[in-house]
Structure 1
Amino acid sequence: MKPLLRDAMDNGYAVAAFNLVDYNTTKAMVKAAEELNAPVICQTSSKTIKYFSHKEIVSWVRTVAEDSPVPVVLHLDHCHDIAMIEECAKAGWTSIMIDASELPFEQNLEQSLKVREIAEKYGVGMEAELGQIMGVEDDMVVDEADSVLTDPEDAKRFCDALDLSAFACAVGTAHGYYKGEPVVDFDRIQAINTLTKTPMALHGGTGLSDETFAKAIARGAAKVNISTNLKHVWVKSFVDYHLAKPTDFEPLRVGDAQYQACKAMFHGFIEKFGGKDRGSAFVAKLG
């Protein structure tokens, strides 16, 4: 993930990162990336791993991505469990994230440095978070009153110590759907990226406007996370199909309706973030 996000940051685009739901959504996101000649990040939450297992998820991604002509990253999203992080790195994840953002700065850094050792041991990318992003993520709730925007100077100290592939920080976005108009601090994004020179992971992408995405990406956001939107499309496409054809109980037709709806959603975000036609160019740079 590190060279991919550096390429995105240097060239003014962002890589779309989607939290996969099942094999069908994994296949759809890689296919969408291939159709657009774009890189993509397949992310997993801790609860998804607990439900399906490491072995199953790695097998899905390997099946759809190992012969793909575009770059595909398998990334562990928000994780507090260092044992799980190492299991993922060992099992085949190509990027891991430690989220110790609820801890004071020094303790957060201490935990993150432990994960830095794991990332180096297995040769994988790493993301870490400073500041608390409000909303609900993987059953963890951060109220607006408890959210803490990331201080740019603290961000520099944090990133200098960790050599991250991606830096997650609180800049006014939120996990889940927004109840009101989000107030994204673009000056803070600019300041953090200027000081850290580390590709920023913009969490809480669902519900942001095209203008917000464009401004954040122009200021250095190189990875944009989409999770809630996918969950809604996955469920709604199933319900819509059944309402339209209430007597059709053929699972493959229902599954294909979900696949097509999710793929269309992936298409939209990949193009919106500027990833189209970046895939083969990045592969060529790697030689």
Structure 2
Amino acid sequence: MPLVNMKPLLRDAMDNNYAVAAFNLVDYGTVKAMVKAAEELNAPVICQTSSKTIDYWSHEEIVSWVRTAAENSPVPVVLHLDHCKDIAMIEKCAQTGWTSIMIDASEFPFEENLEMSKRVRDIAEKYNVGMEAELGQIMGVEDDMVVDEADSVLTDPEDAKKFCDALDLSAFACAVGTAHGFYHGEPVVDFDRIAAINAATKTPMALHGGTGLSDETFAKAIARGSAKINISTNLKHVFVQSFVDYHNAKPKDFEPLRLIDAQYTACKDLFSGFIEKFGGKDRGSAFLSNMK
């Protein structure tokens, strides 16, 4: 089916107490694995791209991969631009076929962040795509963006309400104690803050920094309104390690397709596990029925 807009999908997730898994794709094989995992579980899925990945492959190649994987699929698939600071790139994504875009101006003061986000709001409305924006600074490393723990700023619920009221977002990314990358020690997630922000904004929350969180943490966050959960670092490690493991186990096997298939299977298993963990199983057809 055609790619879907993220806004109604995340509203359905929030209203029905589940979260849509969002994975940062690496190549066409990971896209195929994401969509196949979603199909096997009758679940929606979000295929995300970083700016760095777009720079490496191109807008046109990535759109062709995701459309090809999704066009014969019975489940909802979103193509989303993850953390991006470049408004020209954001608009090109919307023009080329992304169905959701994200502006990350969280490093700037509130008013400047809001002004930049409003410019992207205009782009989202022009192309009829979903939109995510961020307030507060999430610690850790996301591609080439680094936020030290000392520089991280948890999101204030009152500021969150002002921000979301002005933007009508599909997803609201905020800092609640999670971090990009692998955790060093036990993460301290502020569940009261998640609940307060969602009560104030009534906007589906995007929980960044999903790699390494416990099942209990996921469940508590979803129960408090987290409707989109991002997984990136975990995928990168499985993508590389599965390739290495296959070659180490069969060092004389130089048939690329067998190696690629082992990598595909490992990634699909990862995707399936998170989709089911977030409550997405059997929500694909339910969402589509509600949209009719």
Q: 1:120 aligned to 94, 109, 125, which one?
A: 125
Aligned to 1:250: 255
Q: Distance in 2 between matches of 1:284 and 1:156?
A: 31
Q: Which runs of 4+ in 1 moved over 6 A?
A: none
1:101 maps to 2:106? yes
Q: Distance in 2 between matches of 1:255 and 1:268?
A: 20
Aligned to 1:28: 33
Q: 2:43 aligned to 27, 32, 38, which one?
A: 38
1:65-214 equivalences in 2 (<5 Å) = 65-214=70-219
Q: Distance in 2 between matches of 1:249 and 1:233?
A: 20
Q: Distance in 1 between matches of 2:242 and 2:207?
A: 26
Q: Distance in 1 between matches of 2:12 and 2:150?
A: 36
Aligned to 1:229: 234
- Structure 2 counterpart of 1:64, one-letter code: A
- Structure 1 counterpart of 2:135, one-letter code: L
Q: Once the two structures are superposed, what CA deviation does each residue of 1:141-184 show, in whole Å capped at 9, x if it has no partner? A: 00000000000000000000000000000000000000110000
- Structure 2 counterpart of 1:20, one-letter code: L
TM-fit CA distance, 1:249: 0.6
Q: Once the two structures are superposed, what CA deviation does each residue of 1:81-136 show, in whole Å capped at 9, x if it has no partner? A: 00000000000000000000000000000000000000000000000000000000
TM-fit CA distance, 1:11: 0.5
TM-fit CA distance, 1:17: 0.1
Q: Distance in 2 between matches of 1:75 and 1:272?
A: 21
Aligned to 1:269: 274
Q: Distance in 2 between matches of 1:99 and 1:128?
A: 6
- Structure 2 counterpart of 1:183, one-letter code: V
- Secondary structure of the residue aligned to 1:96 is strand
- Secondary structure of the residue aligned to 1:41 is strand
Q: Once the two structures are superposed, what CA deviation does each residue of 1:23-72 show, in whole Å capped at 9, x if it has no partner? A: 00000000000000000000000000000000000000010001210000
- Structure 1 counterpart of 2:263, one-letter code: Q
- Structure 2 counterpart of 1:88, one-letter code: C
Amino-acid identity (%): 85
Aligned to 1:52: 57
TM-fit CA distance, 1:243: 0.3
Give the TM-score of the pair, scaled to structure 2.
0.98
Q: Once the two structures are superposed, what CA deviation does each residue of 1:192-242 show, in whole Å capped at 9, x if it has no partner? A: 000000000000000000000000000000000000000000000000000
Q: Distance in 1 between matches of 2:121 and 2:22?
A: 21
Q: Distance in 2 between matches of 1:221 and 1:50?
A: 30
Aligned CA-pair RMSD = 0.3
Aligned length: 287
TM-fit CA distance, 1:266: 0.4
Give the TM-score of the pair, scaled to structure 1.
1.00
Q: Distance in 1 between matches of 2:147 and 2:71?
A: 37
